[in-house]
């Protein structure tokens, strides 16, 4: 894939996401063991943590280093508002320490870090410069530093999502999934969906999945660990969507929180097309990873009234599913539009990602049928 038009961007971005995965693993361990409990609530009551800001600062710093701070345009989820409040000094200190610890390990990933540790103003600047408005012209990086922050805080699934948009089209996509087992066999299906790996399993946990547009290929790497660095196994594996096209055998995944997607509507659709398996409820864009890897066949998200989907929640995952052989559209069957700023403008009702055309057609048909009947 290195010969690709976006080869340098993909190479750097995969390494940066590997770094971010390691950063998140360390912070999540600290959160769960209770050694530092720094979770804040944003204005919309959603959580944000040291990891969200630290990943955003680290990725932003790296992209500027490699692609020029003057020219690089980044659209990302977090801002510095809560970090700049007078009572946030301790929190900011933790972010600065976390960022510097991550950047100091850059050589392990084949990247150049800063000559000396960053100071708080530089870290704040790295976070706040990710406020590009994107749009239909030019290159724009799209970053969700921690997607599924709720899952992250719960010690469950979450993802680091980075994509590049060029002239309105997503051209590369990378998903870091630090808690997603490499082997399907070691997935531990709980009542509420895909959970942490089973404790009896010896399988490795954590992967980085990446693709570039038009390649027809999506790849999965294991996480790079500090002690192996570049000498470690570079065993990227090709991944493919599932071949299952019989609804009776298919599994659909969706958000854990009923506030983020309408569970009863998707249950009706599932019933309508003859799905028999229970939904797999997973935090974050790991849902897209599950489709791309062939661990599930359908992902549906129908946000509740008025919520506008953000491009960073979908860009990387959509491209990865498409290049792994799947189909992703809105509920009207149209492609998602990443060219109109931070929102998926014009989205028709919801998002439907499937492993193949047959299942996709059935779900879209069911949306029409149940939408009509629900409006009778
Ligand atoms: N009200 C509402 N409706 C729909 N979607 C919302 C809503 N609020 C938030 N979000 C976005 O959902 C992202 C998390 O999606 P998930 O599918 O992981 O949700 S869940 O945790 O499994 O319930 C989550 O991403 P992160 O903030 O990166 O975690 C949000 O961008
Ligand atoms: Mg998100
Ligand atoms: Mg996020
Ligand atoms: Mg968030």
The ipTM of this complex is 0.98
Residue spans of alpha helices (H) in 49-181: 50-67, 89-104, 120-128, 149-153
Are 48 and 20 in a shared domain? yes
Are 218 and 276 in a shared domain? no
Q: What is the span of the domain harbouring residue 297?
A: 247-374
Site to probe by mutation for ligand 1, drawn from 313, 314, 342, 351 as the one with most ligand atoms within 8 Å of Cβ, is 313
Task: Give the separation between CA 15 and CA 18, rounded to whole angstroms.
Answer: 5
Residue 245 falls in the annotated catalytic set:
no
Ligand 1 atom having least distance to the Cα of 158: 18
Distance 236 CA to ligand 2 centre (A): 25
Residue 113 contacts residue 103 (beta carbons within 8 Å): yes
Are 53 and 21 in a shared domain? yes
Beta strands 139-147 and 74-76 are: parallel
pLDDT of residue 183: 83
Are 323 and 195 in a shared domain? no
Active-site hit among 149, 211, 251, 266: 149
DSSP secondary structure letter of residue 81: T
pLDDT of residue 235: 84
Asked if residue 361 is part of any domain, the answer here is yes
Asked if residue 65 is part of any domain, the answer here is yes
User: What is the tens place of the pLDDT at every residue in 282-316?
Assistant: 999 999 999 999 999 999 999 998 899 999 999 99
Q: How many CB atoms lie within 10 A of CB 270?
A: 23
Asked if residue 85 is part of any domain, the answer here is yes
Residue 257 assigned to a binding site: no
Are 286 and 227 in a shared domain? no
Structure tokens at 300: 């549906």
Task: Give the separation between CA 95 and CA 121, rounded to whole angstroms.
Answer: 12
Active-site hit among 11, 49, 52, 329: 52
Are 205 and 283 in a shared domain? no
pLDDT of residue 45: 86
Task: Give the separation between CA 249 and CA 345, rounded to whole angstroms.
Answer: 34
Residue 352 has pLDDT above 90, yes or no: yes
- Among 189, 206, 239, the domain-final residue is 239
CATH number for 314: 3.40.190.80
Are 73 and 210 in a shared domain? yes
Asked if residue 211 is part of any domain, the answer here is yes
Are 151 and 195 in a shared domain? yes
Are 218 and 313 in a shared domain? no
Residue 147 assigned to a binding site: yes
pLDDT of residue 227: 63
Asked if residue 148 is part of any domain, the answer here is yes
User: What is the tens place of the pLDDT at every residue in 50-97?
Assistant: 999 999 999 999 999 999 988 899 999 999 998 988 888 899 999 999
Structure tokens at 364: 């879209």
Residues with Cβ < 8 Å from 96, sequence gap 6 or more?
A: 118, 119, 120, 123
- Among 239, 270, 300, the domain-final residue is 239
Are 366 and 227 in a shared domain? no
Residues with CB under 6 A from ligand 1: 46, 77, 144, 147-151, 255-257, 259-260, 283-284, 303-304, 307, 310, 313
Helices 50-67 and 120-128 cross at an angle (nearest 10°) of 80
Are 230 and 295 in a shared domain? no
Asked if residue 1 is part of any domain, the answer here is no
Residue spans of alpha helices (H) in 129-238: 149-153
Residue nearest to atom 10 of ligand 1 (CA): 260
User: What is the tens place of the pLDDT at every residue in 190-243?
Assistant: 655 555 444 445 668 999 999 999 999 999 999 998 666 554 556 899 999 999
CATH number for 166: 3.30.540.10
Residue nearest to atom 6 of ligand 1 (CA): 260
Residue 348 assigned to a binding site: no
- Among 239, 269, 294, the domain-final residue is 239
pLDDT of residue 146: 98
Residue nearest to atom 7 of ligand 1 (CA): 260
Query: pTM of the prediction?
Result: 0.95
> Which residues are registered as beta bridge partners of 219?
210, 238
Cβ contacts of 110-115, under 8 Å, gap ≥ 24: 110/15, 110/230, 111/12, 111/15, 111/16, 111/19, 111/62, 111/66, 112/65, 114/61, 114/65
User: What is the tens place of the pLDDT at every residue in 113-169?
Assistant: 999 999 999 999 999 999 999 999 999 999 999 999 999 999 999 999 999 999 999
Residue 246 assigned to a binding site: no
Asked if residue 2 is part of any domain, the answer here is no
Residue 52 falls in the annotated catalytic set:
yes
Are 51 and 182 in a shared domain? yes
Count of structural domains, the chain: 2
Structure tokens at 9: 């961007």
């Amino acid at each position: 894939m290195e010969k690709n038009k976006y080869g340098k961007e993909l190479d750097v971005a995969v390494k940066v996401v590997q770094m971010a995965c390691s950063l998140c693993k360390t912070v999540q361990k600290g959160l769960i063991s209770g050694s530092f409990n720094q979770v804040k609530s944003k204005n919309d009551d959603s959580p944000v943590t040291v990891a969200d800001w630290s990943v955003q600062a680290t990725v932003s710093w790296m992209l500027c280093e490699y692609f020029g701070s003057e020219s690089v345009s980044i659209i990302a989820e977090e801002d510095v508002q809560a970090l700049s409040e007078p009572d946030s000094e301790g929190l900011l200190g933790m972010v600065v320490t976390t960022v510097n610890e991550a950047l100091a390990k850059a050589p392990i990933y084949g990247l150049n870090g800063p000559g000396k540790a960053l100071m708080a103003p530089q870290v704040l600047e790295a976070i706040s410069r990710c406020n590009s408005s994107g749009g239909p012209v030019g290159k724009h990086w799209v970053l969700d530093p921690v997607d599924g922050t709720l899952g992250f805080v719960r010690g469950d699934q979450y993802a680091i999502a980075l994509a590049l948009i060029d002239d309105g089209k997503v051209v590369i996509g990378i998903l870091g999934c630090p808690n997603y087992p490499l082997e399907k066999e070691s997935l531990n299906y709980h009542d509420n969906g895909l959970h942490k790996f089973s404790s009896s399993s010896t399988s490795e946990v954590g992967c980085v999945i990446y693709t570039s547009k038009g390649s027809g290929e999506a790849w999965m790497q294991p996480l790079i660990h500090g002690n192996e660095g570049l000498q470690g196994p570079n065993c990227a594996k090709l991944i493919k969507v599932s071949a299952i096209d019989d609804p009776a055998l298919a599994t659909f995944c969706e958000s854990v929180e009923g506030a983020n997607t309408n569970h009863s509507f998707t249950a009706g659709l599932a019933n309508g097309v003859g799905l028999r398996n229970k939904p797999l409820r997973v935090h974050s864009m790991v849902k897209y990873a599950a489709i791309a890897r062939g661990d599930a066949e359908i992902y549906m998200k129908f946000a509740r009234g008025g919520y506008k989907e953000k491009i960073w929640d979908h860009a990387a995952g959509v491209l990865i599913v498409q290049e792994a052989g799947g189909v992703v559209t809105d509920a009207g069957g149209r492609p998602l539009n990443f060219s109109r700023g931070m929102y998926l403008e014009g989205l028709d009702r919801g998002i439907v990602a499937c492993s193949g055309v047959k299942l996709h057609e059935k779900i879209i048909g069911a949306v029409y049928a149940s939408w009509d009947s629900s409006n009778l």
